[in-house]
Structure 1
Amino acid sequence: MGKPKEILRQWVEAFNKADAHALAALYHPDAVNHQVANKPVEGKDAIREMFENEFAAAKMVCLVENMFEDGEWAILEWKDPMGLRGCGFFHVVDGKIIFQRGYWDKLSFLRAHNLPVPQA
């Protein structure tokens, strides 16, 4: 079974290839991915679909600034080529991501990719 930091390295590699299937393979079937700017996504299949939709909407690149491991958790501090920054927390159990939470500026992301900004 992979240690959390190794799983996270695989996650970054798959993300930078825009490979939703390889990403989904890293998640537990009942995993939750909660990007706090959005509603939580529950289940490996829904997470794969989320990544497919996101990769279709924008070219995304994850440049690792820091990567840490603490017990069952891996922590990623990242940036992208346009200067957007964020961080993610990955709870890894038995070599699979069971829970992920990410923090980033959704408004800056939408504007940088010329995507529609939701109205209140």
Structure 2
Amino acid sequence: MTPREVIERWVALFNTADAAGLADLYHPDAVNHQVTQDPIKGRDAIHAMFEREFALAKMTCIVEAIHEAGEVAALEWRDPIGLRGCGFFTVRDSRIAFQRGYWDKLSFLKLHGLPVE
């Protein structure tokens, strides 16, 4: 799969809260770094992170744009309640090797009625 196809699959799995399916898109030693938190290393840890996050709030990713350059894809997204962000994915051998996400955690917590840390 191309990086764009991997990201399109990632969005589809994210929108069904499929933590196991999402984790399978990552290399075993992948890193997921959402800049609002410490990096998560390894497919198992990434799977656990998605399970925790999906239990916390209902999330939907609406694609604004996907840009692809070589092995890197950038995802610009929004959600139905007003949050916006972007993610950068390095894809090797049809699996995500590295992901970095940028979004406003304070807005996320407030929009979902969650306690502000």
**Range into which the TM-score falls when normalised by the shorter chain:** over 0.9
1:86 matched residue in structure 2: 85
Specify the code of the residue in structure 2 equivalent to 1:96.
R
Describe the superposition over 1:18-67 as per-residue Cα deviations: whole angstroms up to 9, x where unpaired: 00000000000000000001110000000000000000000000000001
2:29 matched residue in structure 1: 30
Distance 1:79 1:39 in 2: 22
User: Shift of the alpha carbon at 1:68?
Assistant: 1.0
Specify the code of the residue in structure 1 equivalent to 2:43.
K
2:19 matched residue in structure 1: 20
Distance 2:12 2:67 in 1: 16
Distance 1:74 1:104 in 2: 17
Distance 2:48 2:101 in 1: 17
Please state whether the residue corresponding to 1:46 is helix, strand or coil.
helix
Identity of aligned residues (%): 64
RMSD over aligned Cα, in angstroms?
A: 0.5
Consecutive unaligned residues in structure 2, runs of 5 or more: none
Segments of 4+ moved more than 2 angstroms: none
Distance 1:60 1:33 in 2: 18
Distance 2:38 2:106 in 1: 15
1:11 matched residue in structure 2: 10
TM-score for the superposition, normalised by structure 1: 0.96
Consecutive unaligned residues in structure 1, runs of 5 or more: none
TM-score for the superposition, normalised by structure 2: 0.99
